[in-house]
Structure 1
Amino acid sequence: MKSPDSDTLALGPVSLNSRLIVGTGRYPTLEIMQACHRVAETQMVTVALRRIEVRDSNRSASLVDHVDTTNITLLPNTAGCAFAADALRLARIAAAMGNTHLKIEVTGDVQTLLPDPIETLKAVELIKADPASKHLYLMVYTSDDPVMARRLADAGAECIMPAASPIGSGRGVANEANLTILLTMMRGRLPVIVDAGIGTPSHAARAMELGADAVLLNTAIAKAKDPVLMAAAMRDAVKAGRAGFLAGAIPAKLYATASSPQ
């Protein structure tokens, strides 16, 4: 039986011992962000590529300077893009900066922040056909549509990142049926990281119990009353959910089954 303590997640050129990926936005201070990263035991942190500044010895420390890149892999993302061409431009920048991974985000609606499935698929196709950026390990933010997940995989995505519910909503897994189908379809083919909408530790645990390979969240920690304590809670919830999935839960039944022998 696989132990969750030795259960690593391979994402292209890196292997993660932690299955909790966090972000860098909306924290009260950069120092609190650093503390949350440390307590969460995360080994991958996402940041909008537009927020990554070119290093300059004459300027003060930037956001990225507060990320421990000796232990954490930086996952730049294309937040703010509305079209595939925008994502391709940022992918070329990410590659030129020496990044190995890129999270594709192409937003289709500014109010709901839902991904545009057509432009997202085009973005993956364009990047994988582009000599300058095709080597990037593409982690693609998408909806919980299983068919779209399969099309993204066919186009060259290396990791599928379905939203549990809208970004920052804190609603948790809104559609377990769709997510379960998607996870079943992708199992053994590509890693699936549930991304967006997680609000509580129980939400994170549930996503992992369903079979997600990891969870990515940000607002749930950054905007908690005690961000550092919430980081610890999310760390433990992801571990517990993963262990529960590996252990194999009993099937739910309508009626009772006696636990004592006859």
Structure 2
Amino acid sequence: MSINFLNDTLIIADHKFSSRLMIGTGKYKTTSELKQCIVNSNCDIITVAIRRAQSTTKSIDNNWITDLDWQNKWLLPNTAGCKTAEEAIRVAILGRQFVKKLGQVNNNFVKLEVIPDSKNLLPDPIGTLKAAEYLITQGFDVLPYINADPILAKQLEELGCVTVMPLASPIGSGQGIKNLSNIQIIIDNANVPVVIDAGLGSASDVALAFELGADAVLVNTAIAKALIPEQMATAIKMATQAGRLSYLSGRMPISSNALASSPNTGIIN
């Protein structure tokens, strides 16, 4: 059966996206570098920390974010920097107001992060559940950032979250996928898109995420801290496409024995 890769659409909360690569906006050296990486990545979804966006300007009209083309990109506000559920809820509400001012009136997305651990930056499962439950009642489409915990992922899905976003390894570490077995369980049991987030460090990490069956990835540091970020953005885009196409194609079975490529029949003696 042939699969039309061009029609392979990512759907989150009834919104359709042609790219399965989401891009973060922190850690770039310059705004121009960030903008070029966005172009090179061909991403549809861009995440912005609302606390950072609010603190860099007195008015949204003076923020660099307004320079981006929000007619063709989707803003995913996130609650990075929040240590409690209550704090994350307040920032999420600010984020939705921020998005509306940019003209995306139908955008109720929020990437929910509740991180009290300032050393290892690991998300709080209880705080995340608590905040997600409330935000869903307020009409938010919640994309929760979590540890690679299959039970928590299923609980958040049943609560009404529109994705789950397990970390591959500690945020910003570039260690790649260190929670492979748990992430595979999450993917196998999810009925919402699974977005691998945090710890991806290279194009090969991204390709592996998709070969496992992930629906999307969110990448920031791997691009922003590369020697040549603009080139890495292109590499990550290509890895997204290659990994997804590889998954859709269905890999060959793994054998414990060597299998000859050529048949034994018809051999010339």
Shorter chain as normaliser: what TM range?
over 0.9
- Cα distance in 2 for partners of 1:184, 1:150 equals 11
Residue type of the partner of 1:159?
A: T
Q: Is contact 1:78–1:87 with CA below 8 Å preserved after alignment?
A: yes
**Structure 1 consecutive aligned stretches of length 4 or more whose deviation exceeds 6 Å:** none
CA distance in 2, matches of 1:33, 1:96: 24
The residue that corresponds to 1:127 in the other structure is: 135
Mapped pair 1:192 → 2:200: no
Aligned residues of 1:194 and 1:214 also touching (Cα < 8 A): yes
Count the aligned residue pairs.
254
Which residue number corresponds to residue 139 of structure 1?
A: 143
Q: Give the aligned residue type for 1:223.
A: K
Tell me, in whole angstroms, the C-alpha distance in 1 between the residues paired with 2:218 and 2:3: 23
**1:116 and 2:124 correspond:** yes
1:1-43: per-residue Cα shift (whole Å, max 9, x none)? 3222221101124211111100111111000100000010011
Tell me, in whole angstroms, the C-alpha distance in 2 between the residues paired with 1:55 and 1:11: 32
Aligned to 2:81: 80
Q: Does 1:245 align with 2:227?
A: no
2-structure distance, mates of 1:55, 1:137: 27
RMSD: 1.6
Q: Supply the distance in 2 between the matched residues of 1:65 and 1:125 (Cα, whole angstroms).
A: 31
Q: Which residue of 2 aligns with 1:23?
A: 24
SS at match of 1:164: coil
Partner AA of 1:141 in structure 2: Y
Structure 1 residue 86 displacement after superposition: 1.0
The alpha carbon displacement at 1:87 in A equals 1.3
**Distance in structure 2 (CA, Å) of the matches to 1:41 and 1:140:** 23
Give the distance between the partners of 1:55 and 1:211, measured in 2 at CA: 42
Contact 1:84 1:126 in 2 (8 A): no
SS at structure 1 position matched to 2:252 = coil
Unaligned runs of 5+ in 1: none
Distance change in 2, residues 1:204/1:249 (3 Å): same
- Cα distance in 1 between the residues matched to 2:134 and 2:59: 32
Shift of 1:236: 0.0
Bigger CA drift: 201-210 or 170-179? Answer: 170-179
Q: Which residue of 1 aligns with 2:104?
A: none
Instruction: Tell me the CA shift for residue 56 of structure 1.
Output: 4.0
Partner SS, residue 88 of structure 2? helix
Identity of aligned residues (%): 42
Specify the alignment match of 2:152 in structure 1: 148
Write the deviation string for residues 160-194 of structure 1: whole angstroms up to 9, x where unpaired: 000011101101110211111110010xx100000
| Alpha-carbon distance in 2 for matches of 1:26, 1:203 | 20
Gaps of 5+ in 2: 101-106, 265-269
The structure with more radius of gyration: 2
Q: Relative to structure 1, is the Cα distance of residues 150 and 206 closer, same or farther in structure 2, using a 3 angstrom cutoff?
A: same
Closer, same or farther: CA 243–114 of 1 in aligned 2, 3 Å: same
Residue 220 (structure 2) pairs with residue 218 (structure 1): yes
Q: Indicate whether 1:162 and 2:159 are aligned.
A: no
Q: Partners in 2 of 1:35 and 1:9 — Cα distance?
A: 23
Deviation track 1:189-243 (CA, whole Å, cap 9, x = no partner) reads: 1000000000010000000000000110101101111000000000000100000
Please state how far the C-alpha of 1:76 moved relative to its aligned partner.
0.3
